[in-house]
Structure 1
Amino acid sequence: MDIKRTILWAIFFVSAVMLFDNWQRDHGRPSMFFPNPTQTHTQTSTGTSATPASESAATPSAAAPVPGAAANQPQAAAQLVHFSTDVYDGEIDTRGGTLDKLVLTKNADPKGAPLNVTLFDRTATHTYLARTGLIGGDFPNHNDVFTPVAGPTALANDQKTLQLSFESPVKGGVKVVKTYTFTRGSYVIGVDTKVENVGTAPVKPSLYMELVRDSQPVETPRFSHTFIGPAVYTNEHHFQKVTFSDIDKNKQDVATSANSGWIAMVQHYFATAWIPQQGAQRNIYVEKIDPTLYRVGVQQPLSTIAPGQSTDVSARLFAGPEEERALEGIAPGLELVKDYGYVTIIAKPLFWLLEKIHGVVGNWGWAIVLLTVLIKAVFFPLSAASYKSMARMKEMTPRMQALRERFKSDPQKMNAALMELYKTEKVNPFGGCLPIVIQIPVFISLYWVLLSSVEMRGAPWILWIHDLSQQDPFFILPVLMAVSMFLQTRLNPTPPDPVQAKMMMFMPIAFSFMFFFFPAGLVLYYVVNNVLSIAQQYYITRMMGAGKKKAA
């Protein structure tokens, strides 16, 4: 049996299946492998949450009861308080003092149009919120209408920080003052919660901080599906992410208590995270609160507050792009929201190197080109061995074909004759494959680096490429990709099987179709890699030919 042919057929079959499955998911159809999280409506819980459910729910779930009857009493009408800074434009809902809308307004390309991104939002079709409140009694929570404290709502040019405060009504003898602090140039929002006991009896509430959103997909390149969903990090258990489908099945497996770390919602290029004070004990919960909403949060027990006393709880809320170096400086492990998956150990050094090259050339497109050249140079000895082996196999193709014709009725003798030919000519039939297999993890890692790096968003290269995170507007790079793949196929030995030969000719067309929708940065990397591979293969083949003439 021709093992090499079997391997090629297996690769082609898996590629075709994954291509079809990605096409299905891209067009909103059910996946063959990943269940649609909106298909199930089972209420699930980690068993730690007693946090109020969404105010939009007609009846709170048993797993998340609204504390006290006062929540159903008539309250003042809620309003939206608009604010703006140099990096944000948003709204805070006085119902709960909830961060209801947050738009990232910082321009990634000074020469281009603003690349605004809406993170938090509440519309008829989409919900994504950051909210807090108290539990453990009939205390103020995110269902109560707060009163905004008078003050500026826009960051002036001569200001470094902007503070917006909201006061809750008194409930259960407790009053809450929530203060948001925005800092110029920062995607970290300080959130201070002052809990005052204005009653006559001691109280011991717990503060919850949570992120709530639906499973609505975010914009990602076609045929590429990045992770979206909750994530939890603790010093003991490190980074744990949970898919919405796992929550539907009540299979979320995360740490439930800690005194360190953070909780987050992750999506392509951007993330949000509550970062409580380190050392403060907290319970962690991940659950579904209605057929369309999920939440991840922490509950932080507070010390007993005597009448007339108060306590302050400080936390930070990150809401911004997944810029790896900036995330490292905010909290331990926060850079992991930029998720490379199983290839992290290779991808992180590759991004570090790409970043260093960008620091020299000042252009992410040229940085991709130079990194690809550097990687090809490092792997040149392996590539040379592979191309030499393929060249030898190409020379032997007529003799191999003759043996197949001679013993076509006896596969056992045919394989024995082929093995004897390999032994006589000192050729390893897998010599052209193994060096390539060794390089595959590096190329896959670089794929994830380019797909996951928000630095590519809005980054231009040359001429018609104004955004490396978007597809080539004129499809020039994908066409070059198709041509380069075709040339590579022509340089390789022609398979003896006519069907296999046609398949090898068809594969560049099939893969090029996907590359028409890939981000320009990814296609640029593959084009440069292919061109360098063709140059290497041509050079090595020519050198081998010159060596044979000299020997003759």
Structure 2
Amino acid sequence: METRRLVLLMIFSLSLIMLWDNYQASVGKPTLFGLSTATSTANDKGTLQTPGSAAAVNDLPQAAAQSAGDVPADPNAIVETATAPAPAAQTVVVKTDVLELQFSTQGAQLVGSKLLNHPAAENPELPVQLFEQSTKRTYLGQAGLVGVPDAPNHRTLFELVSTATEFPAGQDSLKLVFKASSGGIESTYTYTVYKNRYDLDLVIQARNANPEPVTPSAYVQITRDGNPLESDSSLYATFTGPAVYTPEKKYQKIKFDDIADRSAQYIKTTDAGWLAMVQHYFVSAVIGQEGPRENYTRQVDANLYSIGLVSALGSLAPEQTGTYSAKLYTGPQDQRVLEALSPGLGLVVDYGWLTVIAQPIYWLLEKIHSYIGNWGWAIVVLTIFIKLVFFPLSAASYRSMAKMRKVGPRMQKLKEQYGDDKMGFQRAMMEMYKREKINPLGGCMPILVQIPVFIALYWVLLASVEMRNAPWLGWVTDLAAPDPFYILPVLMAVTMFIQTRLNPTPPDPIQAKVMMVMPLVFSVMFIFFPAGLVLYWVVNNILSIAQQWVITRQIESAPATTR
């Protein structure tokens, strides 16, 4: 009995510690485990420097070498000059069913991407925006050439040579063609945008107009400031920043702070994979063509960071053209879509160390939703399924708890009989447990077993964009947000209180009071949790109460064991 109470108190204490630790991390303060949570700050003037500014003079990658993608030893092999943003730069807008994209003729950069079907958390009347170039946010998709002095890059003024900015009748794709010439290189960027898709294709062509052979390299990068999102919660921390995937080391997250102090660890030379800029629910990614490449990260300016890849185009003879292709994605973290685009891209939906449990839970939840059509009811059905899986273990535990409840009066008499003789009381109590075939730790098992499942489901509901703005019943219009009227947390407190009453009463009055207060404490904690998670726990509690009540009645109605 004492051991079971101790385990419960440890679980309760650990939950409070984890909640406080996440809160500390989310507000940028040191965590209890010494993890760095500080975010980079803006420059001294409080403004963001764009890649086209004079401060962004070193934001171009080095050319990839011909073998294995090694960086040339000579840092002066590339001549870079700082140029101010061209006043003639124009913005080209393309709108699809799901995206509104903005391209700048300066560098043919992707400077805007609005997700039309996803309302912003801070203002539901506006769509979520990933790529953006404004006074409050710098988030850009950039490409260019290096390895040849003055070759076209993301600071070069391009010309839009295609005429259509709207989809032709009956066609599902639209091509935007940008051209620029400098340094003896004629560069052509061709973006292909598709209806009802969040991915687009980019083809970079470089024609050598020099009288001598050249060896250019193509790069594609994402540049973003390190500012937190307005929609970030103050109660739980989610990852925002760059990520790299390679066949050698799989998914690798990179912190902005590590880029700033040049301590970022990731696979730099590879032949495949992707890179991304991740935030809660959404992601922008670059999937390069297979072949030797160099992954890189760099701090472009104060509070401005780039992650990209650079790949050699080979030696180009005069009038010869080299080609590099990549796929860009800017949209929600839809696991099925992401995995179809590139192996491992679905890992940006980060479930942490419990991915091995969370992935099957998400798969099952999605299958249930495909039949029901409502994520809330899918959670209810999933809860019933999980309860059935744990039914034998729960039944054994509830029988043990019911037996302990039944012998409660006898235990109280033993305590009065032995008084201050604690050793004698413990021996008598263990003899009674043995005689009644009671396992004092049996009641802890369903809680301990469900804790990993509970945490995994927490991350599934927290990280899955499908839960965002998904309604259940009436007042619950967003399963990824807290219950606005606190109905589910109150129901949870009530069900936990009923469960406490069904459990054996601790002989220690202080422990008994703690157990009665715990439902209230947990209900306060769950006020801030996603409604979908609280829904799972309420349904689980109701099923547990029904099962425990039936078993308790059966045990209490059975004749007592003869001493």
Fold match (TM-score > 0.5)? yes
* Counterpart in the other structure of 2:37: 36
3-state DSSP class of the match of 1:58? Answer: helix
Within the alignment, does 1:326 sit opposite 2:323 as a pair?
A: no
Unaligned runs of 5+ in 2: 44-48, 63-75
* Counterpart in the other structure of 2:16: 16
* Counterpart in the other structure of 2:93: 82
* Counterpart in the other structure of 1:213: 224
Mapped partners of 1:238, 1:87: distance in 2: 30
3-state DSSP class of the match of 1:106? Answer: strand
Cα distance change, pair 431–207 in 1 and its aligned pair in 2 (3 A): same
Q: In terms of mean alpha carbon deviation, does 339-348 or 52-61 score higher?
A: 52-61
Deviation at 1:473, TM superposition (A): 2.6
Q: Is the 8 A contact 2:201 2:327 kept in 1?
A: yes
Cα distance change, pair 293–492 in 1 and its aligned pair in 2 (3 A): farther
Mapped partners of 2:518, 2:333: distance in 1: 35
Q: Is the 8 A contact 1:53 1:60 kept in 2?
A: no
* Counterpart in the other structure of 1:452: 463
Mapped partners of 1:156, 1:496: distance in 2: 79
Within the alignment, does 1:268 sit opposite 2:280 as a pair?
A: yes
Within the alignment, does 1:359 sit opposite 2:370 as a pair?
A: yes
3-state DSSP class of the match of 1:329? Answer: helix
Mapped partners of 2:450, 2:424: distance in 1: 34
Taking the TM superposition and a 5 Å limit, the aligned residue runs for 1:43-54 are 54=51
* Counterpart in the other structure of 1:382: 393
User: In percent, how many aligned pairs have the same letter?
Assistant: 48
3-state DSSP class of the match of 1:154? Answer: coil
Cα distance change, pair 92–74 in 1 and its aligned pair in 2 (3 A): closer
Mapped partners of 2:53, 2:513: distance in 1: 58
Mapped partners of 1:114, 1:157: distance in 2: 30
Q: Which residue among 236, 241, 251 is the counterpart of 1:224? A: 236
Cα distance change, pair 182–41 in 1 and its aligned pair in 2 (3 A): closer
Unaligned runs of 5+ in 1: 43-51
Q: In terms of mean alpha carbon deviation, does 11-20 or 22-31 score higher?
A: 22-31
* Counterpart in the other structure of 1:306: 317
3-state DSSP class of the match of 2:368? Answer: helix
Deviation at 1:167, TM superposition (A): 1.7
* Counterpart in the other structure of 1:513: 524
- Which letter does structure 2 place at the counterpart of 1:295? S
Taking the TM superposition and a 5 Å limit, the aligned residue runs for 1:410-421 are 411-421=422-432
* Counterpart in the other structure of 2:67: none
Cα distance change, pair 407–55 in 1 and its aligned pair in 2 (3 A): farther
Within the alignment, does 1:253 sit opposite 2:285 as a pair?
A: no
Q: In terms of mean alpha carbon deviation, does 282-291 or 29-38 score higher?
A: 29-38
Deviation at 1:10, TM superposition (A): 2.4
Give the number of aligned pairs: 536
Cα distance change, pair 126–498 in 1 and its aligned pair in 2 (3 A): farther
* Counterpart in the other structure of 1:350: 361
Cα distance change, pair 145–364 in 1 and its aligned pair in 2 (3 A): same
3-state DSSP class of the match of 2:189? Answer: strand
Q: Is the 8 A contact 1:222 1:517 kept in 2?
A: no
- Which letter does structure 2 place at the counterpart of 1:127? T
Deviations 1:37-88 (A, max 9, x none): 336899xxxxxxxxx9933462645996894254438855323222211111
Mapped partners of 2:239, 2:306: distance in 1: 16
3-state DSSP class of the match of 1:485? Answer: helix
Q: Is the 8 A contact 2:493 2:519 kept in 1?
A: yes
- Which letter does structure 2 place at the counterpart of 1:297? G
Deviation at 1:220, TM superposition (A): 4.8
* Counterpart in the other structure of 1:4: 4
Deviation at 1:211, TM superposition (A): 1.5
3-state DSSP class of the match of 2:528? Answer: coil
Deviations 1:117-153 (A, max 9, x none): 1111122222222111112232121122222224222
Mapped partners of 1:247, 1:397: distance in 2: 61
Taking the TM superposition and a 5 Å limit, the aligned residue runs for 1:147-226 are 147-155=159-167, 158-168=170-180, 170-218=181-229, 219-220=231-232, 223-226=235-238
Q: In terms of mean alpha carbon deviation, does 307-316 or 497-506 score higher?
A: 497-506
Mapped partners of 1:417, 1:243: distance in 2: 58
- Which letter does structure 2 place at the counterpart of 1:430? L
Cα distance change, pair 512–28 in 1 and its aligned pair in 2 (3 A): farther
3-state DSSP class of the match of 2:511? Answer: helix
* Counterpart in the other structure of 1:145: 157
Q: Which residue among 444, 454, 457 is the counterpart of 1:433? A: 444
Mapped partners of 2:80, 2:19: distance in 1: 54
Taking the TM superposition and a 5 Å limit, the aligned residue runs for 1:46-125 are 54-56=51-53, 58=55, 60=57, 67-72=78-83, 75-106=86-117, 116-125=127-136
Mapped partners of 1:93, 1:273: distance in 2: 19
Q: Which residue among 330, 342, 347 is the counterpart of 1:336? A: 347
Deviation at 1:430, TM superposition (A): 0.7
Deviation at 1:502, TM superposition (A): 2.6
Mapped partners of 2:99, 2:171: distance in 1: 15
- Which letter does structure 2 place at the counterpart of 1:5? R
Q: Is the 8 A contact 1:80 1:92 kept in 2?
A: yes
Q: Which residue among 511, 518, 521 is the counterpart of 1:500? A: 511
Mapped partners of 1:217, 1:483: distance in 2: 37
Q: Is the 8 A contact 1:222 1:518 kept in 2?
A: no
Q: Is the 8 A contact 1:161 1:184 kept in 2?
A: yes
Q: Is the 8 A contact 2:206 2:321 kept in 1?
A: yes
3-state DSSP class of the match of 1:153? Answer: coil
3-state DSSP class of the match of 2:341? Answer: coil
3-state DSSP class of the match of 2:117? Answer: coil
Q: Is the 8 A contact 1:343 1:441 kept in 2?
A: yes
3-state DSSP class of the match of 2:114? Answer: strand
Deviation at 1:186, TM superposition (A): 1.1
Cα distance change, pair 301–435 in 1 and its aligned pair in 2 (3 A): same
- Which letter does structure 2 place at the counterpart of 1:491? L
Deviation at 1:410, TM superposition (A): 5.3
Deviations 1:410-448 (A, max 9, x none): 554444443333223321111111243223322322222
Mapped partners of 2:424, 2:169: distance in 1: 84
Mapped partners of 1:241, 1:136: distance in 2: 29
Mapped partners of 1:517, 1:268: distance in 2: 17
Q: Which residue among 108, 131, 138 is the counterpart of 1:127? A: 138
Deviation at 1:376, TM superposition (A): 0.6
- Which letter does structure 2 place at the counterpart of 1:58? A
- Which letter does structure 1 place at the counterpart of 2:8? L
Mapped partners of 2:108, 2:60: distance in 1: 24
- Which letter does structure 1 place at the counterpart of 2:55? A
Q: Is the 8 A contact 2:40 2:257 kept in 1?
A: no
3-state DSSP class of the match of 1:316? Answer: strand
- Which letter does structure 2 place at the counterpart of 1:38? T
Alignment RMSD:
3.0
Q: Is the 8 A contact 2:30 2:36 kept in 1?
A: yes
Q: Is the 8 A contact 2:26 2:233 kept in 1?
A: no
Deviation at 1:93, TM superposition (A): 1.9
Mapped partners of 2:139, 2:542: distance in 1: 44
3-state DSSP class of the match of 2:521? Answer: helix
Deviations 1:261-316 (A, max 9, x none): 111122221111100112x1101123433331232211111111111121221110
Q: In terms of mean alpha carbon deviation, does 370-379 or 130-139 score higher?
A: 130-139
Mapped partners of 2:450, 2:329: distance in 1: 37
Cα distance change, pair 72–123 in 1 and its aligned pair in 2 (3 A): closer
